[in-house]
């Protein structure tokens, strides 16, 4: 797969905003019967307004997979999302990403080579009786190669909404669970299940035995890869305390990719869909401080004017890699499709896709 974004050329960047928007609308109407545009909740509003379907990454991929009569699927999100859409799509469907630099730093923190080496080291060191006793679980925010690694070993994918349920299942399958790439979702889910801190261990990339002793590894039930979301790490305990002091009636809700010391101070936590549901169903006049990506928070503010909705942090918390997707990139793809050319296609090797699908299917079975 060619991951090099093509230069759009000066003609596109000379276009003003209104012309770009008008041309996108016209192209979308022209390609309507063949086109499906997906937008993640963290995508900027200028693209979000053109979406046929919106949601979190797995919801979008699954809903898109049920629509089999659209030849072209444009995923306004990041690489791992488009990969999941390609895995679940029909053979005649083509999945595209507006900008090929739209990646996920957290997903990139867990390469399949590094994870495989760590997994092998744990088995060869005798931390578990055999490989089957070490159950891998990957957050959906991971590459197709990582999902395939997990599927090949009988593990499961999880999402931010079902991580606790998947982790409980995994603990029933073997002696230990290796959870990646997000340490915070893994820790928050393990603690919610009542797993003591002494049995939760961080595996640090590049360090011998992940920076742990054999005694610590033998005692641990949950091993956490040391990945994290750069956006959600910007939310801090002091921000929660400030809101409590200044606005005693505020409700604080955060995403489970936040660190546990933030989560433990919040009133609620949940996935993007859970955050939207909590805010939308709250009474008029409710006051919220929300700890997740700013585009979602601003959209909640616009959509629910009868409530007072703020970003938890005092500074903008934006997924800058997803923001590589700009309206001009969407227009460029649509112009090419109208001319009979497919650009920025995201494809997953069939062998990897089959194994990755196993880990997704295991999650659905759970």
Proportion of the chain above pLDDT 90, given as a percent: 93
Domain contains 69: yes
In the prediction, which pLDDT does 114 show?
Answer: 97
Beta bridge partners of 242: none
Domain contains 361: no
Cα(266)–Cα(108) distance, integer angstroms: 28
Which DSSP string do the residues of 35-86 spell out, in sequence order? EEEEEETTS-HHHHTT-SEEE-HHHHHHHHHT-TT-SEEEEES-HHHHHHHH
Give the least confident one: 7-16, 53-62, 105-114, 208-217: 53-62
Domain contains 354: no
119 and 216 in a single domain? The answer is yes
Is the pLDDT confidence value at 44 over 90?
Answer: yes
Domain contains 364: no
Name the band, by pLDDT with cuts 50, 70 and 90, for residue 310. Answer: very high
In the prediction, which pLDDT does 64 show?
Answer: 85
- pLDDT one-digit tens code per residue, 253-290: 999 999 999 999 999 999 999 999 999 999 999 999 99
Region 31-58 average pLDDT: 94
42 and 132 in a single domain? The answer is no
188 and 165 in a single domain? The answer is yes
118 and 176 in a single domain? The answer is yes
Residues of each annotated binding site for iminosuccinate: 40, 57, 139-141, 160, 255-257, 272
Region 145-168 average pLDDT: 96
Name the band, by pLDDT with cuts 50, 70 and 90, for residue 214. Answer: very high
Total-model pTM: 0.95
Name the band, by pLDDT with cuts 50, 70 and 90, for residue 58. Answer: confident
112 and 207 in a single domain? The answer is yes
Q: What is the CATH number of the domain that holds 60?
A: 3.40.50.10800
Residues of each annotated binding site: 40, 57, 104, 139-141, 160, 229, 255-257, 272, 319
Region 102-131 average pLDDT: 94
**Mean of pLDDT over the chain:** 95
Is the pLDDT confidence value at 1 over 70?
Answer: no
- pLDDT one-digit tens code per residue, 173-200: 999 999 999 999 999 999 999 999 999 9
Name the band, by pLDDT with cuts 50, 70 and 90, for residue 62. Answer: confident
Per the structure block, which two tokens stand in for 29? 């109407």
Residue 218 burial (C-beta neighbours within 10 Å; 0-12, 13-18, 19+): middle
Is the pLDDT confidence value at 320 over 60?
Answer: yes
Name the band, by pLDDT with cuts 50, 70 and 90, for residue 154. Answer: very high
Domain contains 316: no
Under 8 Å CB-to-CB from 82, ≥6 apart: which residues?
Answer: 75, 95, 96, 97, 346
120 and 214 in a single domain? The answer is yes
In the prediction, which pLDDT does 242 show?
Answer: 97
Region 22-38 average pLDDT: 97
Beta bridge partners of 38: 53, 75
Is residue 299 within 8 Å of residue 307, measured between CB atoms? no
Sheet containing strand 134-139, edge to edge, reads 156-158, 134-139, 176-180, 222-225, 200-203
Domain contains 224: yes
- pLDDT one-digit tens code per residue, 241-255: 999 999 999 999 999
Domain count for the chain: 3
204 and 225 in a single domain? The answer is yes
138 and 93 in a single domain? The answer is no
In the prediction, which pLDDT does 337 show?
Answer: 98
Cα(248)–Cα(241) distance, integer angstroms: 10
| Phi, psi values for residue 9, rounded to 5° | 95, 160
92 and 187 in a single domain? The answer is no
Region 47-58 average pLDDT: 92
Last residue of a domain, one of 263, 289, 311: 311
Domain contains 81: yes
Residues of each annotated binding site for [4Fe-4S] cluster: 104, 229, 319
Region 14-35 average pLDDT: 97
Domain contains 56: yes
Domain with 243, as residue range(s), is: 232-311
225 and 239 in a single domain? The answer is no
120 and 206 in a single domain? The answer is yes
Region 155-164 average pLDDT: 95
219 and 260 in a single domain? The answer is no
In the prediction, which pLDDT does 4 show?
Answer: 84
Cα(316)–Cα(294) distance, integer angstroms: 6
Region 191-220 average pLDDT: 96
Is the pLDDT confidence value at 2 over 60?
Answer: no
């Amino acid at each position: 797969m060619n991951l090099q974004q093509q230069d759009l050329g000066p003609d596109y960047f000379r276009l003003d905003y209104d012309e770009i928007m008008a041309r996108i609308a016209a192209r979308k109407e022209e390609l309507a019967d063949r086109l499906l545009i997906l937008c993640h909740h963290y995508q900027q509003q200028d693209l979000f307004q053109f979406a046929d379907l919106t949601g979190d990454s797995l919801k979008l991929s699954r809903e898109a997979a049920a629509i089999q009569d659209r030849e072209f699927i444009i995923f306004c999100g990041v690489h791992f999302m488009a990969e999941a859409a390609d895995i679940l799509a029909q053979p005649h469907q083509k999945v595209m990403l507006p900008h090929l630099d739209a990646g996920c730093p957290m997903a990139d923190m867990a390469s399949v080579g590094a994870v495989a080496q760590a997994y092998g080291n744990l088995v060869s060191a005798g931390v578990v009786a055999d490989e089957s006793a070490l159950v891998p679980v990957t957050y959906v925010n991971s590459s197709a190669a990582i999902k395939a690694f997990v599927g090949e070993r009988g593990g499961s994918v999880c999402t931010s909404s079902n991580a606790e349920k998947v982790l409980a299942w995994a603990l029933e399958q073997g002696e230990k669970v290796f959870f990646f790439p997000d340490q915070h979702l893994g820790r928050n889910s393990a603690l919610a299940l009542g797993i003591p801190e002494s049995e939760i261990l961080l595996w640090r990339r590049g360090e011998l035995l992940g920076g742990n002793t054999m005694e610590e590894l033998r005692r641990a039930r949950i091993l956490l890869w040391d990945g994290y979301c750069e956006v959600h790490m910007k939310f801090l305990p002091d921000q929660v305390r400030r809101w409590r002091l200044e606005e005693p009636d505020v409700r604080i809700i955060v995403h489970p990719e936040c660190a546990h010391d933030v989560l433990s101070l919040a009133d609620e936590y949940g996935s993007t869909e859970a955050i939207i549901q909590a805010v939308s169903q709250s009474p008029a006049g409710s006051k919220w401080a929300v700890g997740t990506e700013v585009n979602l928070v601003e959209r909640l503010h616009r959509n629910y004017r009868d409530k007072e909705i703020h970003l938890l942090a005092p500074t903008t918390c934006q997924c800058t890699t997803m923001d590589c997707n700009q309206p001009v990139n969407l227009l460029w793809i649509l112009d090419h499709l109208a001319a009979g050319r497919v650009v920025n296609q995201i494809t997953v090797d069939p062998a990897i896709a089959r194994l990755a699908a196993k880990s997704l299917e295991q999650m659905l079975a759970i």
